[in-house]
Amino acid sequence: MQYSISDQPESLVAKLQREALEFSARHSSAEIRVSEVQSSLVVMLSGSIDYPLSGDLQDLLSLMVGGCAGEKRIRINLQGVSYISSTGVGALTNTLIEAWKQKVDIIFCHIPPKIDFIIDVLGLRSFFPIENSSD
């Protein structure tokens, strides 16, 4: 599904929270929550990030990157992720590349050991900006 921010007069964070709720309603195996902490957009992912939802995840994260261009930092908290497929890693990687193109700072934090191992095995440790804290 393609996401787009409507022309309704609501804040960026409120729009993204609505889109995240719709995503979570369509994909029972995963959940996305969005909040704002200081000048950062905090995205909390949980559940299984697998092939069936990777495209929707990438679309939603791209919407977030586009909405934050030049204004906010994005922190993607992976603490609740129990599984990630290669397409899930691809969605995160493509989002990171898009963020760089749009000059949006993006940081991954609270990565569970299993997910951290996958990032390491794929040789992406130096590619992914990783931080231990989401504040």
Question: Which residues of the chain form beta strands (DSSP E)?
Answer: 30-37, 40-49, 73-84, 106-109, 130-131
What's the fold here for domain 12-131?
Transcription Regulator spoIIAA (3.30.750)
The distance from CA 65 to its chain's CA centroid, rounded to whole angstroms, is 9
Give the global pTM. Answer: 0.87
The mean pLDDT values, 10 residues at a time, for the chain of 135 residues are: 48 92 94 92 96 94 90 93 95 95 94 94 92 59
Residue 12 is predicted with a pLDDT of: 87
**Contact present, 80 and 25 (Cβ < 8 Å):** no
pLDDT of 91-101, one tens digit each? 999 999 999 99
> How many C-beta atoms surround the C-beta of residue 69 within 10 A?
13
Q: In the chain, what are the domain boundaries?
A: 12-131
DSSP class of residue 97 equals H
Residue 28 is predicted with a pLDDT of: 93
Task: Give the dihedral sign, CA 31/108/90/123.
Answer: negative
**Contact present, 58 and 70 (Cβ < 8 Å):** no
